Structure 1
């Protein structure tokens, strides 16, 4: 039973969306997913892709995925790789799937000349935090994520 990691294709969109919904349920936000197959397909495979995804499978059965995109650091003067989502199915956890996905993306970052590979993790998700620490990740204790959505985003965009 060999684990394979491969770039997602348009045919994988339903599987990716299913895994995104599983991730949202795990992260205690099952109703937060607004993505549809159409929006996800456009984001990953449209004229101007916003992100990329890879799937991990064993004997053809999906066991996890990672969705990522490039950001940019003015401090390094180089682009970085940002991991938006990493998810491993419950039955595959502990079998090296998450580590394989992270290692694969680290290789992508190196191949593309990225200065950083980073992501966010929920503060309550101790198993993930411990896993990332074992993989060599450094928790950026002084940084917090800021977000503006919905009506607040509309108000922020209004001229003053």
Structure 2
């Protein structure tokens, strides 16, 4: 069992960016998806640290050890006439799950949404990922009656 020393949530920096990428690769493995390739990693870095970042990313540290991360960006609800925080990723390394770190990261996002005047917070979850579904529903998340559609690659 891994010990919790002190959990801190910190915005990624150029110095912590490799830790961020390592955790993204760990999430890709968990979700049985291809991790970002070299070009995607370069875009992730550019998009995070540009003058107008396309997304925000934060790492959860147990002392000095990176143990999880979140990424989010903002969309806009025309019906609410308010921004929406879209939670893209929330991930905690296997050895640190069931210790409250995921809940801490989720609450961090919820607080950012409130502080920035959002009318809601949205995210998606894979249908087979029962632990994540339970996690979100235990925090007040409600499954919506929407289908997610996507166009990518050559179809775009």
Normalising by the smaller structure, the TM-score range is over 0.9
User: Would you say how many aligned residue pairs link Structure 1 and Structure 2?
Assistant: 151
Q: Does 1:46 align with 2:50?
A: yes
**Larger deviation, residues 9-18 vs 55-64:** 9-18
- Measure the CA separation in 2 of the matches of 1:94 and 1:32: 24
Residue 107 (structure 1) aligns with: 111
Residue 83 (structure 1) aligns with: 87
Change (3 A) 1:56 1:38: same
User: Within 5 Å, which residues of 2 pair with 1:1-160?
Assistant: 1-29=5-33, 31-34=34-37, 36-140=40-144, 142-153=145-156
For normalisation by structure 2, the TM-score amounts to 0.92
Runs of 5+ consecutive residues of structure 1 not aligned to the other structure:
154-160
For normalisation by structure 1, the TM-score amounts to 0.90
List structure 1 segments (4+ residues) > 3 angstroms apart after TM superposition: 34-37
Please state whether the residue corresponding to 1:144 is helix, strand or coil. coil
- Measure the CA separation in 2 of the matches of 1:21 and 1:39: 15
- Measure the CA separation in 1 of the matches of 2:109 and 2:36: 24
Shift of 1:36: 3.9
- Measure the CA separation in 1 of the matches of 2:41 and 2:126: 26
Shift of 1:2: 1.4
Shift of 1:48: 2.4
Cα-Cα RMSD:
1.2
Please state whether the residue corresponding to 1:56 is helix, strand or coil. strand
- Measure the CA separation in 2 of the matches of 1:74 and 1:15: 36
Shift of 1:32: 4.7
Change (3 A) 1:80 1:40: same
**8 A contact 1:13–1:40 mirrored in 2:** no
